[in-house]
């Protein structure tokens, strides 16, 4: 158990819909990262938040957005869903960023999204 | 452009064989390097990491990796693999600046024949 929790574990929805994935980082971790893992694209970094502020952006679509709340939990919002958005979405957290030692991340169990 | 290359997409070995998985990166500046492992049906877990100092780092479960700065490489090794090492292995790099984003390689699937 990494200490990172994600809900829900599974999500099945239809094209065009909007969903929200939730992540709670390890106690004390200020950074939260979101990833998408699919068979054809592999592991793709989406976005990082640090203490409530967006820190780095990866291959995140405009239909996707995220935020980190004052209690440090984060939500990933996916809208206008397409079949190709079906994937495993991981959240990870880390204690520090931008210094030696940064980048060691603890991953949650993931949310499996199926778009029908 | 910043990138991480894992040239072996799928490696198949017998138990007790030695393992070396390649990882090369392209990244300007000082970096932190990582190997993560993803066992079937599970999330990623940190296997080992390099921040600074001794370029030969030892991780969990008998794995080690060597950082060769001149070759921009961080290859993963294990002298004798076990069936339980069957998993996908990801190399990752992250810079030291506050705006650095972590970059993962495409992964290497390791299958161990019992």
pLDDT in tens, A48-87: 998 999 988 888 999 999 999 999 999 999 999 999 999 9
Q: Does B77 touch chain A (CB under 8 A)?
A: no
pLDDT digits (tens, 9 = 90+) for A9-46: 999 999 999 999 999 999 989 989 999 998 777 788 89
- CA-to-CA separations, A66 to B13, B43, B58, B101, B109, in angstroms, rounded: 41, 21, 36, 16, 30
A42 touches B at CB < 8 Å:
yes
> Which residue in chain B has the smallest CA separation from A107?
B44
Instruction: Tell me whether residues A101 and B51 touch, CB distance under 8 A.
Output: yes
Residue B52 pLDDT greater than 80, yes or no: yes
Cis geometry, peptide bond prior to residue A8 (ω within 30 degrees of 0): yes
Q: Which two tokens stand for residue B5?
A: 């290359």
- B49–A104: do the CB atoms touch at under 8 Å? yes
Give the list of residues 6+ apart from residue B27 with CB closer than 8 angstroms, or none.
B2, B3, B72, B93, B95, B103
Question: What gap in Å lies between CA A32 and CA B85, rounded to an integer?
Answer: 28
How far out from the chain centre does Cα B85 lie? Answer: 13
Is B98 in Cβ contact with A55 (below 8 Å)?
yes
User: What are residue A31's DSSP bridge partners?
Assistant: A50, A94
CB-nearest to A56 from B34, B99, B106 is: B99
Give how far the C-alpha of residue B46 lies from the chain's centroid of Cα atoms, to the nearest Å: 10
């Amino acid at each position: 158990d990494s200490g990172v929790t994600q809900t829900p574990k599974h999500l099945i929805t239809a094209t065009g819909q909007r969903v929200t994935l939730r992540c709670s980082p390890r106690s004390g971790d200020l950074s939260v990262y979101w990833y998408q893992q699919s068979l054809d694209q592999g592991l793709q970094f989406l976005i990082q938040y640090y203490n409530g502020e967006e820190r780095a952006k990866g291959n995140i679509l405009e239909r996707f957005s995220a935020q980190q709340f004052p209690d440090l939990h984060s939500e990933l919002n996916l809208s206008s869903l397409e079949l190709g958005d079906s994937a495993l979405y991981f959240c990870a957290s880390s204690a520090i960023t931008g210094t030696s030692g940064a980048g060691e991340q603890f991953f949650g169990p993931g949310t499996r999204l199926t778009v029908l | 452009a910043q990138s991480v290359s894992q040239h072996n997409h799928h490696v198949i070995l017998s138990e007790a064989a030695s393992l070396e998985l390649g990882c090369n990166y392209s990244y300007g500046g000082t970096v932190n390097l990582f190997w993560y492992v993803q066992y079937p049906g599970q999330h990623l877990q940190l296997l080992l990491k390099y921040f600074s100092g001794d370029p030969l780092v030892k991780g969990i479960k008998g794995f080690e990796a060597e950082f060769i700065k001149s070759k921009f490489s961080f290859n993963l090794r294990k002298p004798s693999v076990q069936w339980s090492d069957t998993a996908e292995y990801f190399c990752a790099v992250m810079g030291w600046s506050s705006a650095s984003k972590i970059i993962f390689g495409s992964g290497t699937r390791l299958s161990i024949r019992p």
